[in-house]
Structure 1
């Protein structure tokens, strides 16, 4: 059974420090970092990529829109990854998003697995 992944990035960091999320796509392809969990799985794909909605964050309504748009295209998402840029934004740039709290909300509200992070470079 195939698995599908969506990634949320930091709107302020995306395309500033990491052009076109190249690092996330490379890590996924290499099954590196948090994508290592899919090492033995061939039928996994990234089906969506979006940003957080900007500070102070609109992650919940963006998730609703993302899931609605996927369903309209006959697609689903099994796992949501918070990009490493979101992790770094909360650690070094005073980003107000509480990733653990958002993880719990998304897992409860949308019944999706959420992983904090994508890669380690």
Structure 2
């Protein structure tokens, strides 16, 4: 049930995933309530050797970088996952197939690709391109980036293959 706290409208919803998980949607008084957008962040497996995901998660929670476009909308992070490595063959990798099936079942409003999925020298690997194609074939927009980076001139824009 929505409630006003000063000039801020606070909506609290219990998510169906767990009785202990809450989604807090905060909006200014006078603005219409927007439906909560479901977001997935996909990162590179190799990057996890030195990356905590903190920059992606900070951008998500602060609505900065590629998440600026959702400034006045409720967001729900449905998954934060990485690929199964360069050279993974989808047809032979049951773990990667399971990840894709779960994401497709969630049917997020957008999948954001971490800056780590774009290598300066080589672009995106075939594994990430496979993910992009599958998401796009299933009507799920794929968005370039999460947090700001000089490697992402098109941050926040849809990726097309």
Please state if 1:35 is matched with 2:67.
yes
- Contact 1:14-1:85 within 8 A present in 2 as well: no
Consecutive unaligned residues in structure 2, runs of 5 or more: 1-34, 150-161
Classify the secondary structure of the residue corresponding to 2:126.
coil
Corresponding residue for 2:75? 44
**How many residues matched?**
111
Larger Rg computed on CA atoms: 2
* Alpha-carbon distance between aligned partners in 2 of 1:86 and 1:109, rounded to the nearest angstrom: 20
Corresponding residue for 2:134? 106
Q: 1:27 to 1:2 in 2, by over 3 A?
A: same
Consecutive unaligned residues in structure 1, runs of 5 or more: none
Q: 1:58 to 1:26 in 2, by over 3 A?
A: farther
Aligned Cα root-mean-square deviation (Å): 2.9
Q: 1:25 to 1:10 in 2, by over 3 A?
A: same
Q: TM (normalized to structure 1)?
A: 0.73
After TM superposition, the structure 1 = structure 2 runs for residues 1-121 of structure 1, keeping only pairs within 5 Å, are 1-16=35-50, 18-19=51-52, 21-41=53-73, 43-57=74-88, 62=96, 64-66=97-99, 68-69=101-102, 71=105, 75-87=106-118, 90-92=119-121, 96-97=125-126, 103=132, 105-121=133-149
Q: TM (normalized to structure 2)?
A: 0.57
CA-to-aligned-CA distance 1:8-45 (integer Å, 9 cap, x gap):
101001241x22x111110011111111111111x211
As a proportion of its length, which structure holds more helix? Answer: 1
Classify the secondary structure of the residue corresponding to 2:72.
coil
